């Protein structure tokens, strides 16, 4: 793998020298060929930013995607300190952009595709009697459909890597067994749908050595949880726990739904 990436580097640099052009910002050519690669969605804030920081601190190449790179000041600061962090623009509901990014990185093996981007519809839109069905479509598009599209688009990048992992930030709210009260109809359904699709995918891609995981980050102190009066983990704690869980995922645990502390979450 290292040899292939090095050859690509050399060819790319030679081509740019011959053409007299500089390498584009956020180029795949900026990645370190000796370090593994993670691609993270929604990495400008919250758990995604925490994961980008943690993977970078562990020496990984981080393809940190977000909707608005120009506004992603904390991510920009991380990239300024760490040449292995490249920022790419990606709205996960933009199928053309997903395909373009996959083409841009077509020769880059991606060890971990980390589908993190997610939205909640807010309590008001998700309450019986006031269910907002437009919000349902948005939540399903971001939380359930987009991770599967990402996995389809980047499957060969993952298959070409050493670690071969597709990891998905799900939620304990997607556990039917854990439902105690009536709320979050859409959010819960989206994570449940994500779990089913990725569990199915895990079976289908097992023969290629690809591992698929569903992760519960815990209740984490992010914008999504603002104003909800329950005990919360710091972003740093959740991200470092998730890093360990991802590191431990293997063929045996593929398709499983695992809490940040390493315990299985009931379906």
The DSSP code sequence of 90-119 is --TT-HHHHHHHHHHTTT---SEEEE----
Q: Give whichever of 40 and 155 is closer to ligand NAP, judged by the CB atom.
A: 40
Q: Is the dihedral of CA 180, 186, 188, 192 positive or negative?
A: positive
Sole binder of ligand NAP in the list 3, 19, 21, 68 (CB under 6 A): 68
Q: Give whichever of 16 and 93 is closer to ligand NAP, judged by the CB atom.
A: 93
The closest of 117, 267, 266, 123 to 184, measured between CA atoms, is 123
Q: Does 46 bind ligand NAP (CB under 6 A)?
A: yes
Sole binder of ligand NAP in the list 28, 37, 75, 142 (CB under 6 A): 142
Contact assessment for residue 213 and residue 252, using Cβ atoms and an 8 Å cutoff: no
Q: Does 86 bind ligand NAP (CB under 6 A)?
A: no
Sole binder of ligand NAP in the list 92, 114, 144, 155 (CB under 6 A): 92
Q: Does 67 bind ligand NAP (CB under 6 A)?
A: yes
* C-alpha distance from residue 245 to each of 12, 195, 217, 242 (Å): 35, 17, 10, 5
Q: Does 100 bind ligand NAP (CB under 6 A)?
A: no
Q: Which residues within the stretch 117-136 sit at the binding site for ligand NAP (CB under 6 A)?
A: 117-119
**Under DSSP, is residue 215 helix (H, G, I), strand (E, B) or coil?**
strand
The closest of 84, 42, 48, 36 to 67, measured between CA atoms, is 42
Q: Which residues within the stretch 151-190 sit at the binding site for ligand NAP (CB under 6 A)?
A: 169, 171
Q: Which residues bind ligand NAP (CB under 6 A)?
A: 41-42, 44-48, 66-68, 91-93, 116-119, 142, 169, 171, 217, 219-220, 222-225
């Amino acid at each position: 793998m290292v040899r292939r990436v090095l050859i690509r580097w050399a060819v790319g640099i030679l081509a740019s020298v011959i053409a007299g052009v500089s390498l584009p910002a956020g180029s795949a050519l900026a990645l370190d060929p000796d370090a593994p690669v993670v691609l993270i969605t929604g990495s400008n804030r919250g758990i995604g930013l925490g994961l980008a920081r943690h993977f970078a601190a562990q020496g990984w190449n981080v393809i940190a995607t977000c909707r608005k790179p120009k506004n992603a000041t904390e991510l920009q600061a991380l990239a300024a300190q760490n040449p292995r962090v490249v920022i790419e623009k990606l709205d996960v509901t933009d199928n053309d952009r997903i395909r373009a990014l996959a083409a841009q990185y077509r020769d880059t093996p991606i060890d971990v595709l980390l589908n993190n981007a997610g939205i909640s519809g807010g309590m008001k839109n998700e309450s019986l009697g006031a269910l907002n069905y437009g919000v349902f479509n948005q939540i399903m598009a971001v939380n359930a459909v987009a991770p599967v599209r990402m996995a389809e688009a980047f499957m060969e990048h993952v298959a070409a890597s050493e670690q071969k992992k597709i990891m998905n930030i799900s939620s304990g709210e997607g556990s039917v067994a854990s439902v105690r009260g009536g709320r979050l109809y859409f959010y819960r359904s989206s994570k449940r749908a994500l779990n089913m699709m990725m569990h199915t995918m895990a079976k289908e891609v097992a023969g290629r050595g690809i591992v698929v995981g569903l992760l519960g980050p815990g209740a984490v102190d992010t914008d999504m949880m603002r104003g909800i009066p329950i005990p919360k983990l710091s972003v740093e704690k959740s991200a470092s726990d998730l890093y360990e869980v991802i590191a431990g995922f293997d063929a045996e645990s593929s398709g499983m739904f695992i809490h940040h502390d390493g315990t299985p979450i009931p379906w």
